[in-house]
Structure formats: structure tokens, C-alpha cells
Amino acid sequence: MGGNKKRINTMEQLSAEIGVSRATLSKYFQDPSLVRKSTSKKIADLLDTVDYIPNFFARNMNRKQTGLFGVVLPHLNDLFYMTLLREIERRAEELDFSVLIQNSHGDPEKEVRAIKNLRSMNAEGVIVAPIGAEENTPSFKRISSDLPLVFVDAKCPGLEKDFSFVGTDNSQSMKLMVDYLRRSGTPPKYLTMPPVNSNSREREQAYRSRMNEVGLTPEVIRTSSEEPVWDFESHGYEIVRDLLDRGLSKDATILCANDRLAMGALRAANEAGLFNEVNEGALGFRVAGHDDHPLSQYMWPSMTTVSQDVHRIGRAAVDCVSRQARAATETDKLPVDRLFPAQLCIRNSA
């Protein structure tokens, strides 16, 4: 890329080549207006003649406003989180921020380590989609003393009032699903998700609450295992296949805690021949999900679900962390809760 240009590897070499001090160069790369116009032009003209790329991290090491923040996600192979990340990056670009991404792999220790890594890179703040491990609560409290943390999608136990949160209103979204399913067919049984984060508790509680409010008995389907399994598709498939083998009614309605569980449930139902024909309005076996996963509309049958407002959630998370990182007043540092309503997506599966 440098062609025949002279290769410059360090700031010291560049300083000697241009004939200005290293401190002046640092100011220039931070903001050209911080140095005299004649010096700024001299530096810019010579940069055009050499092959030099400033070290991003070294340049930001001692700056309070580095123009970057971190995002920690539990799994990078989950398309829901990738959709959320896309919206975060778009909003960050509008605000002239760069994004550093860390993957916790669903591991509490790696989650804390990821946040510490971002702090060492001088990130101004971090957006975290937390696993929800209670053992991480003390670490989050300590880290937040010098690094703003904003939780997105799920909350962290014990920190609900101390940290900002941006996500979906699970009470509203589950009410939408329960009301639609009970009106259009048999009352829904609820297939809960493994206890991987706060959504597993909140959505089950919201289901139970709404069923009780309308005079129906909640029926929660769960396994005996309390392991935080992230392989939701396999989990949903195994549970529903076992239920069908044991005589689950062919006109049952299964409301799944998320779309990935519902994908597994759909496979089990398809193997049992329950969706050979899908007649709109006809009673029969039904499956519904939650999230509007990018693949949910392409399943067979296409999945009835609720769509989280990922666009607004991603933007609000960035706005929240940037406001807290560059707080002009003490009020800007106060934690906020931003809950967004979901929308019902009626498709063929229910």
C-alpha cells in the first residue's frame, strides 16, 4: 500500500523525519487544531510522502476521551446478538465512536475478563449483554467505579437499581403472546429457557401472571436440569420430541421463551408429521416464539413470534453509555431503565 514511500514504524522516527517534537505529533493526531496552522500543514504534507499508520491504542492510552467503547456479548454465533451489534455499530458511527467487541462465550469468568480487557484498552464505557451470573455482581460494582457499564437485553442479579438497562418490556411482550394464543386456539403451555440470564425468569413470570389474570392455569414445561445451556435449538427439540412420544395432545399450543427454542420445537413437530399441512385458522398443533430471530420467518412453518425493537434498543444503549461516559452533570451519570414494547408477528406456526 505504501508503494515507494519511505516506511516509518514509530512516532520517534516520524518526529525525526518531519523535524517536530513527539509531543507536537501527539497533539496533531489527537486534533490538528491543537498545533499551529503552519506546523499542521507541514505534518500533513510530509505524511503524504511516507508510509506511516498511527498506533491506535498508543495514541489513545493517555486520553480521557478515546472515542471508543466496548461491547461484550455472550455468543457471537447468535444472529439476534449480531443484529443488535449491527444497530450498536451504526449508532456509534453516527456519534463518531469506534466499537471494540468481546465474546464471553457464556462463561462468567470470561465475561469479567472481557470487561477488564476493554478497560485496559482505555474504553470510555462498555455495553454488556450479561450472562446473569450472581458471582459477577461484586466485580461489576468494582469495575463501574471508573468505567461506565450499561446492560442490554438482560439484567444482572442484584444490580437492577444501580446500573442502566436497555431492553424489551417482557411483561408487555408475553401479554401479547398469551392473549393472542388463548384467543386463537388452545391455551398456551410455556416452554421455559435454560437459566442463562434474567430473561428466563422474567418471561416465565410474565407468562404465569397473565395466565392467572385471565383465569387460566399456567403450565410450564421445564427439564430437571438447571444447567445454563445455550444450545437452545437442541434443548427445545429434545423436550418437545419427548413430550410428543409421551402423548402430548396434537392440538397443544407451545409458547417458547425464545425463537431458538421454538426452532427445535418446530423440528420435533415436523418429524411427527404435525405440520404436513398448515391451514390458516384451523386448530392443530401450534408453536410460537419470542424475539423475531432473523431466521424465524424462513422456518417451516414460518414462526409466529414477537419482534423486539432491536433498532431502538441498540441506539438507546449507545446513547446511554456515551452520555454516562461524557457526563456533563451528575444527573447524566444516574442509571436509567429503557424498556421498549414488542410487536406481534403472526405467521403460520400459530
pLDDT at 55: 59
β-strands 305-307, 343-345 pairing = antiparallel
Mean pLDDT of 73-88: 93
CA atoms within 13 A on the CB side of 217: 2
List, in order, residues 6 or more apart from 174 with CB less than 8 Å away: 203, 206, 207, 210, 290
Cell for 166? 436497555
Give the residue among 343, 336, 332, 317 at the shortest CA–CA distance from 72: 317
Helix (H, G, I), strand (E, B) or coil at 175: helix
CATH for 68-167+311-340 (3.40.50.720, 3.40.50.2300, 3.30.300.30, 3.40.640.10)? 3.40.50.2300
Cα–Cα distance list, 323 to 66, 72, 77, 318, 336 (Å): 14, 19, 29, 8, 11
Q: Which of 37-51, 65-79, 170-184 has the lowest mean pLDDT?
A: 37-51
Q: Distance between terminal CA atoms of the chain?
A: 56
Cα–Cα distance list, 52 to 12, 125, 315 (Å): 12, 29, 34
Residue 172, pLDDT above cutoff 50? yes
- Of 88 and 327, the structure prediction assigns the larger pLDDT to 88
Cβ atoms within 10 Å of 346's Cβ, excluding its own: 13
Mean pLDDT of 312-337: 90
One-letter amino acid of 334: L
Reported confidence tier of residue 2, pLDDT bands at 50, 70, 90? very low
pLDDT at 1: 45
pLDDT at 277: 61
In this structure, which topology does domain 170-307 adopt according to CATH?
Rossmann fold (3.40.50)
Contact, 191 vs 255, CB < 8 A?
yes
CA atoms within 13 A on the CB side of 341: 6
Alpha helices in the chain (DSSP H): 11-18, 22-30, 37-47, 56-60, 79-94, 108-120, 137-143, 170-184, 198-213, 232-245, 259-271, 310-325
Reported confidence tier of residue 15, pLDDT bands at 50, 70, 90? confident
Cα–Cα distance list, 258 to 137, 152, 292, 320 (Å): 25, 16, 9, 26
Taking the C-alpha atoms of residue 297 and residue 316, their distance in angstroms, rounded to an integer, is 26
Taking the C-alpha atoms of residue 347 and residue 249, their distance in angstroms, rounded to an integer, is 21
β-strands 188-191, 164-168 pairing = unpaired
Taking the C-alpha atoms of residue 118 and residue 101, their distance in angstroms, rounded to an integer, is 9
Answer yes or no: pTM beyond 0.75.
yes
- Of 319 and 31, the structure prediction assigns the larger pLDDT to 319
Taking the C-alpha atoms of residue 80 and residue 262, their distance in angstroms, rounded to an integer, is 14
Residue 73, pLDDT above cutoff 80? yes
What would the pLDDT profile of 174-192 be if each residue is shown by its tens digit? Answer: 999 999 999 999 999 999 9
- Of 109 and 56, the structure prediction assigns the larger pLDDT to 109
Residue 195, pLDDT above cutoff 80? yes
DSSP one-letter code for 75: -
Residue 27, pLDDT above cutoff 80? no
Contact, 164 vs 335, CB < 8 A?
yes
